Amino acid sequence: MKSASFRASYVLASALLLAAGVPSAPAAAADDVIRIGVTLRMIVENGLKYGQMTKDELEAVNATGGINGKKIEVTLLDDECKPDRGIANVNRFIHQHKVHLVLGSTCSSVSIPMVDVVTKEEVPQIIPHSTNTSITQKGSPWVFRTSVSERFYSAVHAKYLAENVGKKVAYLYTTDGAAISFAKDYMGYMERTYKVEPIYTAQMQETDLDFRSHLLKIKSLNPDVLAIGGQLDAIARITQQSYEVGIPSKVRRVAASAASNAPVPELAGNAAVGLTFAAAFSCKDERPVAQQFVKMVQDKYKVRCPDHDFSQAYETAQIVKLALSRAKLSLTDAALAQDRRAIRDALATIKDYSGLASGPINFCADPTPQCRDGNRTGILVEYTKGGKDYDMRVLARVSFEADFGLAK
C-alpha cells in the first residue's frame, strides 16, 4: 500500500499542478485593448447566431480604428443556461481574461449568481436577456439590464387582456423559472388590480408531453383567457392540445415571452394563430431602424424573422459601444479597476437611448431597479399565421413608470 499510495499521492498532486498550470495561457492581458466577456445561452435555436452577432457588433468598431482609437476584444462563451457554467465563465473573464465589462446572460438563473460575482469583484455587467425581477433588486451598483423586466412584462398582457378580452383566466405552466414568473406575476397583477382570482391553476413538469387532462378541465370552466407558461416546446404543445380538446378559438391564448421564438409558431402550426405574447421586439415592427436590423440579420445570419433575443443582444452591444465612447479609459493593467469604474459610470449616463427596443432605454447611477431596469416598454404581439411561414402583428405597446411593480 505504501508504494501505491506514494505513487498515487503524487498523481493527485501533479494532476492538480497541471490543472493550475495548463488553463492559464491567456493570463497576460494586452494593454490598450478594451476586453469584453460575453456569456449567453447559445446551444438553442439561433443561439449561436445571436452570440456571434453580439461579438461581431462589438468588434465591428475595430475596422474603423476602434473606440477613441482603442480596439475591442470579445471573448464569447456558452453557459448552457446552467448557473455553475455561468459562474465559471464570469470568473474566467474577470481573473483570467481581465475583462473590463461582462455582457450576459440569457437565463435569469445564470444572471442572478453572476451578479454576486461581479459585485464582489467590482466589474460592470450588462444583461441583455434575463427578465427575472429580482436581478436588479439585489441592489448591485455594477449591474445594468437592457431587457424588459418581468415586472413590466406581466402587466403588459394582464392589463391589455383584462380590458379587451376578459378577466376569467386559467393558468397552465411548467416548472421553469420564466414560466413560474410569468404565471405568478400575471396572477398577482389581476388580484391586485381587479381583485380577480384565477379560475384554474396547474403546474406541470418541463418534460411533460400531455397536458390534455388539465385542458379538459379548463374547457369545462369556460375561461376568457388561457395563460400558458413554459419553454417554447411546452408552449407549442399546450397551444396545439388546447384546440384538440375543443377549447374554442374565442378563448385568447396568451403565453410567456418564450413564445416569441420561431419554433413556437412552426411547431404549433395553425394553432398558433391568435397566440399572444409580450416581447421587447417584433420583426414586424415597421420603423426603418427595425426593418434595417431585420434585413441585416436575414442577410448575415440567415434568420428570417429575428426575435427579441436578437434585438436585445444587438441593442446591448450598441449601448456598450456608446458607453465606451464616453468613458475615459487608460487601458493598462494597473488601471483595470479604475477603467471598470469608468465604464460603469458611463453606462449610468445612458439616457433616452432610442433603438430597436419598444421604448427608450434609461439608466442612472442609483443601484435600484428604477435606475437599472433600462427598458420599461413592452409590446403585445399576436401570431396571425402559423407554420414555417408564420406571421405576426403588434397589438399594443405599453410603457410603465420606473417604479411600477415594486413594493412601495
Partner 1 sequence: MNGPGTNGAAERAPEGWRDLSRFIPWLLGFCVLLVLPWLAVNPYQNYLLNVILINVILAVGLNIVKGFAGQVTVGHIALAAIGAYTSAILSVKFGLPFWLALPAATLVTGLAGALVGIPAFRLEGAYLALATLGLAESVRIFISATDYVGASIGFSDIPPPMLAGKPLGSHIAYYYVVMPVALVGIYLSFCILRSDIGRAFKALREDSLAAAAAGINVRKYKLLAFVISAFYAGCAGSLTAHMSPGFLNPNSYTITEMVTLLLMVVLGGIGHIWGGVIGAVLVTIINDLTVDFYQYRLAIFGMIIVLTVLYMPRGIGGVIDRHFATKRFIALRKAKASVNA
Query: What are the residues binding partner 1 (CB under 8 A)?
Result: 1-6, 8-13, 15-24, 27, 42-43, 48, 77-78, 80-84, 87-89, 91-92, 94-96, 108-109, 112-113, 116-117, 120, 132, 134, 175-177, 180-181, 203, 205-206
Nearer to partner 1 (CB atom), residue 112 or residue 190: 112
Greatest CA separation for the chain:
80
Q: How far apart are CA 159 and CA 179, in angstroms?
A: 18
Residue 391 pairs with which residues in a beta bridge?
385
**Contact call for residues 128 and 137 (beta carbons, < 8 A):** no
Closest CB 9 distance from partner 1, rounded Å: 3
Nearer to partner 1 (CB atom), residue 73 or residue 285: 73
- Tell me the CA distances in angstroms from 179 to 71, 174, 197, 320, one per residue in order: 40, 6, 19, 29
Residue type, 200: Y
Nearer to partner 1 (CB atom), residue 116 or residue 163: 116
H or E, element range at 194: helix 177-194
Q: Strand, coil or helix: what is 236?
A: helix
**Contact call for residues 53 and 314 (beta carbons, < 8 A):** yes
Closest CB 212 distance from partner 1, rounded Å: 20
Closest CB 114 distance from partner 1, rounded Å: 8
**Contact call for residues 104 and 127 (beta carbons, < 8 A):** yes
Q: How far apart are CA 316 and CA 356, in angstroms?
A: 10
Q: Where are the alpha helices (DSSP H) in 245-378?
A: 263-268, 288-301, 308-326, 336-347, 369-372
Closest CB 191 distance from partner 1, rounded Å: 17
Copy the grid coordinates of residue 172: 397552465
Residue type, 252: R
Nearer to partner 1 (CB atom), residue 24 or residue 291: 24
Q: How far apart are CA 13 and CA 10, in angstroms?
A: 5
Nearer to partner 1 (CB atom), residue 166 or residue 198: 198
Nearer to partner 1 (CB atom), residue 87 or residue 199: 87
Nearer to partner 1 (CB atom), residue 12 or residue 63: 12
Closest CB 82 distance from partner 1, rounded Å: 5
Q: How far apart are CA 87 and CA 117, in angstroms?
A: 8
Nearer to partner 1 (CB atom), residue 9 or residue 349: 9
Closest CB 347 distance from partner 1, rounded Å: 22
Closest CB 229 distance from partner 1, rounded Å: 11
Nearer to partner 1 (CB atom), residue 205 or residue 332: 205
Q: Strand, coil or helix: what is 272?
A: helix
Q: How far apart are CA 76 and CA 37, in angstroms?
A: 6
Phi, psi of 90, rounded to the nearest 5 degrees: -70, -35
Residue type, 360: P
Closest CB 289 distance from partner 1, rounded Å: 31
